Amino acid sequence: MDQPLPADLFRDPDCSDRAQPIRVGGKWTAMVLRCLEDGRPRRFSELRVPLHWITPKVLTETLRAMERDGFLTRTVHDENPPRVEYALTPLGRSLIDPLDTACAWARAHVPEITEARSAYGDGR
């Protein structure tokens, strides 16, 4: 007989619910990482250019979540009007190599993913 999953499956002290290492951000985090990977601080309006399909509200939420998680810094310059820039932290930069690996994996498996999605859609 199969063993049920234990209630404390995710209670590893090195993998607490506060760290949530599997949730490396939201849906748009990887794209924001790509926008900032060259090391140049970017303004919100600069990020909006390549991320034009993301609403300003969702981009703001993504940037706040990334700042909260320590992936980027938000610097407000004392100017009129205020200038705000975003830049990756060392922690955020450490996500670039895993992101490259995940992107390479996805490119290598696009046909299989497309086929699985098609089969799933046909079966519904």
| CATH number of the domain bearing residue 47 | 1.10.10.10
Q: For position 17, what pLDDT does the model report?
A: 46
Residue 21 has pLDDT above 60, yes or no: no
Contact status, residue 57 vs residue 42, Cβ threshold 8 Å: no
Query: What tokens does 76 get?
Result: 């407000």
pLDDT in tens, 30-61: 889 999 999 999 999 999 999 998 999 999 99
Residue 117 within any structural domain of the chain: no
Q: What whole-number distance in Å separates Cα of residue 68 and Cα of residue 102?
A: 23
Range of the domain at 27: 13-93
Residue 42 within any structural domain of the chain: yes
**Total domains in the fold of the chain:** 1
E strands present in 11-93: 42-43, 72-77, 83-88
Residue 78 within any structural domain of the chain: yes
